[in-house]
Amino acid sequence: MNGKNPCQVSNVGNSTNILWHDCPIQKRDRQQLLQQRGCVVWLTGLSGSGKSTLACALSRSLHARGKLTYILDGDNVRHGLNRDLSFRAEDRSENIRRIGEVAKLFADAGLICITSLISPYQKDRDACRALVPEGDFIEVFIDVPLHVCEARDPKGLYKLARAGKIKGFTGIDDPYEPPSSCEIVLQQQQGNGFKSPCEMAEIVISYLEEKGYLRA
């Protein structure tokens, strides 16, 4: 499955003399058990765009359908696994890399892994996409204008950034790079009315159904 010689010791990054061990139970076996296909649903967008709210609505709707999910929320992961990382550009990239690797493991376990984090840089999202089989990375861009996110400001961070008390804040003094080609765009424009989290979740679920992720 991993295309590795079972007797070949290798060096990966700073790790030397390591050996990949295969298990007779593979991803397809776990998917058959769960009656679903493992994948990564990557929610990206500005702070205040509604990523965490959508992640919970999506997880709840899929759970009601008997599907197993797990959410990797950006703030939650920084309480543990990534608590050693700051919000400097290099640490933000490492934050995304680690979450991408964990999401890959969840997808390989057969779960529908939902990530909820700003992930502002295209190259970092692309690197996470490259970790999983083609088609198993579903990038969902929650396209909410900056002024709307700033008006919401659920954590009061935009106000602090505007006051210069937070440096390198995405959308203010650090860029957000919108996805150049993603699977789903959820546009939220004031003139067209805002979709509810449940409505947006159903759009994502329809995609998952169409692509066969809700069956083994």
Active site residues: 119
Identity of residue 90: E
Contacts of 11 (CB under 8 A, 6+ apart): 17, 18
The structure tokens listed for 34 are 């769960």
Start-to-end CA distance of the chain, whole Å, equals 18
CA 96 to chain centre: 9
Closest to 74 in 3D by CA, of 42, 38, 107: 42
Q: Give the three-state DSSP class for 95.
A: helix
Report how far residue 178's alpha carbon sits from residue 176's, in angstroms, rounded to the nearest whole number.
Answer: 6
Closest to 129 in 3D by CA, of 53, 183, 67: 183
The structure tokens listed for 110 are 């057969």
Q: Give the three-state DSSP class for 211.
A: coil
Taking a C-beta distance cutoff of 8 angstroms, is the pair 52, 152 a contact? no
Taking a C-beta distance cutoff of 8 angstroms, is the pair 114, 55 a contact? yes
